[in-house]
Structure 1
Amino acid sequence: MDTQSRREFISSTGKLTIMSGLGLGAASLEEETAQLRNKFIHHVFFWLKNPDSQEDKQKLIAGLQRLTKAKTIESAHIGVPAATNREVIERSYQVSWLLVFKNDADQEVYQSDPIHLKFIEECSMLWEKVVVYDSVQAK
C-alpha cells in the first residue's frame, strides 16, 4: 500500500469534501452529463447599447428572469462575464443567457412563445448586438 503524507491526505480529502458539498463528485458529473445528453443548448450573449449602464443591465436581467417562465425551457442560467482573464476568453459582452431545451422542437416553440416575443418587444432597445450559439450532442 502506498503511503501518503499527512498534507497530501488532508489536501485530497478536503478537495473531495468541497466537491461533494458542491455536488461536483464523479457520480454527480456523470449524472449531469447524462441529463444533458441529446438536449438542445441555446446560449445567447448580449452587448448593451450603454455597456456601462447598471440600470440597463438590470432591466435586461429582469426581462430574462421573466422569460424563464416560458414552458419549454428545461433549465436557464443568466450570467455576466467572470473575472477570469486569459487571451482566449471573450469578456466584452454584458449578459449571457444559457438555456437547455428537451429538443430542437421545444426551442422552436420557445422562439414564438408570447413570453419570448414580449421580452424582445420590451428589452430589444437595450442591446446593440446579440450573438447566439446553438448546439446539440456530438455523435
Structure 2
Amino acid sequence: MSTRREFISNTGKAMVAGGLVTLTENETPHMIENKFIHHVYFWLKNTGSKEDRAKLVEGLQKLSKVTTIKTFHIGMPADTNRDVIDRSYAISWFVLFDNAADQASYQVDPIHLKFVEECSHLWSKVVVYDSVDVK
C-alpha cells in the first residue's frame, strides 16, 4: 500500500505521461497586437429575466456572422468581488477586428442593423469601450 504522497506523485507523473497535463518552460501569454477591440456591455430592461437574457445572447450569436469579425466572446459577469469590479451588467460582447475600417463596416452591416432592430428593446443601457494598441 502506497502512502498518500507517493500516490499523488505517481498520479501527477501518469497525467503528464498521458498528455492530460502539458508542461512547457518559459510559456508566455499571447499578446493581441494590431487589432481593433470593441467591447460592449448590456444592461437588461428586465433585470434578471432569463428569457430576455437568452434572446440577447441569441441575437449576439447571429451578430457574430458579420464577416469582418475575427474573434468574439459573449460573456456574463464573473463571480469575482472586489471594489474595482462592476458586475451590474447582464451580458458583455467582446469583438476583435483587424482594424478600425473593419469595425466601421460592422456598424453599418445589415446583420448589425438587424440585431439593433430586433434586440434594442431588451436593454436599458449599453456602454462601449473601443481600444487600439498603445503606440
Query: TM-score of the superposition, structure 1-length normalised?
Result: 0.79
Task: Provide the residue aligned with 2:85 in structure 1.
Answer: 89
Aligned to 2:119: 123
1:48 aligns with 2:44: yes
The structure richer in helix per residue is 1
Deviation at 1:38, TM superposition (A): 1.0
Shift of 1:51: 1.1
Distance in 2 between the 1:90 and 1:57 partners? 18
1:58 aligns to what? 54
Q: Distance in 2 between matches of 1:20 and 1:38?
A: 29
CA distance in 1, matches of 2:85, 2:119: 26
Question: Post-superposition shift, 1:88?
Answer: 0.5
Structure 2 stretches lacking a partner, 5+ long? none
Cα distance per residue 1:32-85 (max 9 Å; x no partner):
31xx20100000000000011000000000000010000000000000000001
2:113, 2:21 → 1: CA distance? 40
Cα RMSD, aligned residues only: 2.5
Identity %: 57
Matched, 1:67 2:63: yes
> Shift of the alpha carbon at 1:20?
4.3
* 1:84-124 per-position Cα deviation (integer Å, ceiling 9, x unaligned): 01110000000000000000000000000000000000000
Structure number with bigger Rg = 2
Distance 1:56 1:83 in 2: 21
SS in 2 for 1:116: helix
**1:26 aligned onto 2:27:** yes
Gaps of 5+ in 1: 1-5
